[in-house]
Amino acid sequence: MMYNIVAVINIRFFLNRNSCYYCSLIRCDTQLIKLTSYVMAFKIDIRAARDPKVVDVYLYGDISSWGDLQPANISKQFTELEKKYTSARLHINSNGGQITEGIAIHSVLSNTTMELEIIVDGIAASMAAILVQVPKAKRHMSKYSKMMLHGPSGYASGTSEDLRQYAQMMDDFEVTLIQIVCDRTGMDNTSVKSKWFDGKDHWLSPQQALDAKLIDAIVEGQVTREAKNSLDPAFIYNFYQEQISNLNYTEMDFTKIIALLGLAATSTEQQVMDFVGNLVAENTTLQTQLTGLQTEVDGLKAQVTATRKAEITGMISAAITAKKITEAQRPMYESLAGKDFDNTKAILDAAQPYQPLTKVPGQQDDSPVIPVDRAGWTFTDWQAKDGKGLQDLKDNHKEEYKALYTKSFGKEPV
């Protein structure tokens, strides 16, 4: 999963774990206390260890503002845990996710009052690999796990200025991520960038991560098989998650899950799986239908937009032909019509054809300054019928004004 800048740069990989269902549990020694049941999503799993001052926290899933690992939830959990425990073991199996959410989680982990040990149970890819680099934390990878580092990537839309801002935002985030890695490995920024932030995915085995000082030690972990012959983060995540889930299988109480699904209390595991499988298939069908409907809606919106644009163009052109407005005013009225078509139409319908008394500065035509229908007017007629027009002649067309005055009074105006 690629880093994601919220609202701008999308996540590259999405997981499909529809056939999985898990529970969030707390373990107090050998006693299990169930907190909340979830279907088709693995959330934050917290279990108290045998040491009363140590807690195991399992971060399995996607880092995002809407998905499995949300910084607000993690922050709230850690605030409560810090009241009871002095140390925490953080288990990770994650493809990564959004940069902004990941940095927020990194901040929570960096500022916890608990001593922190991080263990990569399965995969720590993309933003999840950055979480491993929390300051002061002891960093471990299980011997069959994997780590993947790469630079931010995504897509954006908008104006050229928008794209430049988005690109700068990605570069700024990359600088932050590189610095986090530098702080833990002791490498300089240039080396980290050229080694792991060069536009490619870099998969590391536990030994390679240890040699690069991305971790402190390799440990025995929950998984017993390595994901080989695949560089697909979704596949690798599910490969490890399946092993982890099977290990925790006996700890899962299906009673509440069965009740939540509305199945009979006597339902077998296979019946539960079949039911969930049907829900997944049904969801896929609904998603396909939703996509089709959205495409249809988008098409209708485009038609409405095109029709309205044609109406606006026709209305403005008609007003120009009728000399109610000028061609120079077209952009202004098009903008007004785009925001409020009905009121703009009413304004144009009520407008009267405009016949300017004076020439437009720089206008190249042979039209007379004094309209033909006023050619016989005397100075007194102008005063009685169009005093404003007479003033305009005096101010802007002195020769015509002088000729009119002389003709009426037999002398030039003073």
Q: Quick count: other Cβ atoms within 10 Å of Cβ 201?
A: 16
Question: Furthest-apart CA pair in the chain: how many Å?
Answer: 121
Q: State the pLDDT confidence band at 395, using cuts at 50, 70 and 90.
A: confident
Same domain, 235 and 136: yes
Q: Quick count: other Cβ atoms within 10 Å of Cβ 301?
A: 10
Rounded to a whole number of angstroms, the distance between the first and last alpha carbons of the chain is: 87
Same domain, 71 and 156: yes
**Euclidean distance between CA atoms 185 and 210, whole angstroms:** 10
Residue 287, both tokens: 């998603």
Q: State the pLDDT confidence band at 340, using cuts at 50, 70 and 90.
A: very high
Burial category of 198 from C-beta neighbours within 10 Å (exposed 0-12, middle 13-18, buried 19 and up): exposed
Backbone angles phi, psi at 242, to 5 degrees: -60, -45
Q: Are 2 and 99 in contact, with CB atoms under 8 Å apart?
A: no
User: Among the three residues 253, 283, 303, which one is the final residue of a domain in this structure?
Assistant: 253
CA 189 from centre of chain: 28
More confident call, 27 vs 312: 312
Same domain, 177 and 51: yes
Same domain, 314 and 207: no
User: Among the three residues 253, 285, 302, which one is the final residue of a domain in this structure?
Assistant: 253
Q: Give the contacts of 120 (CB within 8 A, at least 6 positions apart).
A: 92, 93, 132, 140, 141, 142, 145, 146, 147, 206, 215, 221
pLDDT value of residue 87: 93
Same domain, 294 and 153: no
Residue 155, both tokens: 């897509």
Q: Per-residue pLDDT for 222 more than 90?
A: no
Residues with catalytic roles: 126, 150
Residue 289, both tokens: 């239908």
CA 373 from centre of chain: 65
Q: How does DSSP classify residue 251?
A: G
Domain-embedded: residue 6: no
- Tell me the mean pLDDT in the region 330-335: 92
**Residues spanned by the domain of 347:** 265-354
DSSP H helices, 212-268, are: 233-247, 255-261
User: Among the three residues 324, 354, 384, which one is the final residue of a domain in this structure?
Assistant: 354
Dihedral angle sign, alpha carbons of residues 318, 324, 328, 333: negative
Q: Per-residue pLDDT for 8 more than 50?
A: no
Same domain, 44 and 93: yes
- Tell me the mean pLDDT in the region 213-236: 81
- 3-class DSSP assignment, residue 10: coil
Q: State the pLDDT confidence band at 3, using cuts at 50, 70 and 90.
A: very low
Average pLDDT, the chain: 80
Domain-embedded: residue 393: yes
**99-113, 141-155, 228-242, range with the lowest pLDDT:** 228-242
More confident call, 300 vs 51: 300
Same domain, 132 and 247: yes
For 86-100, write each residue's pLDDT tens digit: 999 999 989 888 999
If phi over 0 gives left and psi between -120 and 50 gives alpha, with beta otherwise, what is residue 158? Answer: left
pLDDT value of residue 50: 55
More confident call, 369 vs 13: 369
Q: State the pLDDT confidence band at 356, using cuts at 50, 70 and 90.
A: low
Q: How does DSSP classify residue 187?
A: -
CA distance to 128, 333, 350, per residue, from 314 (Å): 56, 12, 17
Number of domains composing the chain: 3
Q: Per-residue pLDDT for 37 more than 60?
A: no
For 246-274, write each residue's pLDDT tens digit: 554 444 456 778 888 888 888 877 888 88
Domain-embedded: residue 12: no
Same domain, 28 and 106: yes
Q: State the pLDDT confidence band at 42, using cuts at 50, 70 and 90.
A: very low
Same domain, 76 and 56: yes
The b-or-e profile of 205-232 (16+ CB within 10 A means b, else e) is bbeebbebebbbebeebbbeeebeeeee
Same domain, 173 and 72: yes
Q: State the pLDDT confidence band at 30, using cuts at 50, 70 and 90.
A: very low
Q: Quick count: other Cβ atoms within 10 Å of Cβ 272?
A: 16
Domain-embedded: residue 414: no
**Euclidean distance between CA atoms 273 and 20, whole angstroms:** 9
More confident call, 271 vs 112: 112
| Residue bearing tokens 């209708």 | 300
Q: Per-residue pLDDT for 327 more than 50?
A: yes
More confident call, 245 vs 130: 130
For 152-192, write each residue's pLDDT tens digit: 987 788 999 999 999 999 999 999 999 999 999 999 999 99
Q: Per-residue pLDDT for 26 more than 80?
A: no
Same domain, 328 and 386: no
pLDDT value of residue 354: 65
Pairing of β 146-149 and β 202-204: antiparallel
Q: State the pLDDT confidence band at 323, using cuts at 50, 70 and 90.
A: confident
Return the CATH number at 149.
3.90.226.10
| Residue bearing tokens 């690109």 | 167
Which residues on neighbouring strands pair with residue 203, listed in sequence order? 148
Domain-embedded: residue 7: no
Q: State the pLDDT confidence band at 221, using cuts at 50, 70 and 90.
A: confident
Q: State the pLDDT confidence band at 362, using cuts at 50, 70 and 90.
A: very low
Q: Per-residue pLDDT for 292 more than 50?
A: yes
Domain-embedded: residue 311: yes
pLDDT value of residue 103: 94
Same domain, 350 and 241: no
Domain-embedded: residue 391: yes
Q: State the pLDDT confidence band at 45, using cuts at 50, 70 and 90.
A: low
pLDDT value of residue 204: 94
More confident call, 54 vs 241: 54
Nearest to 132 by CA among 192, 202, 183: 183
Domain-embedded: residue 316: yes
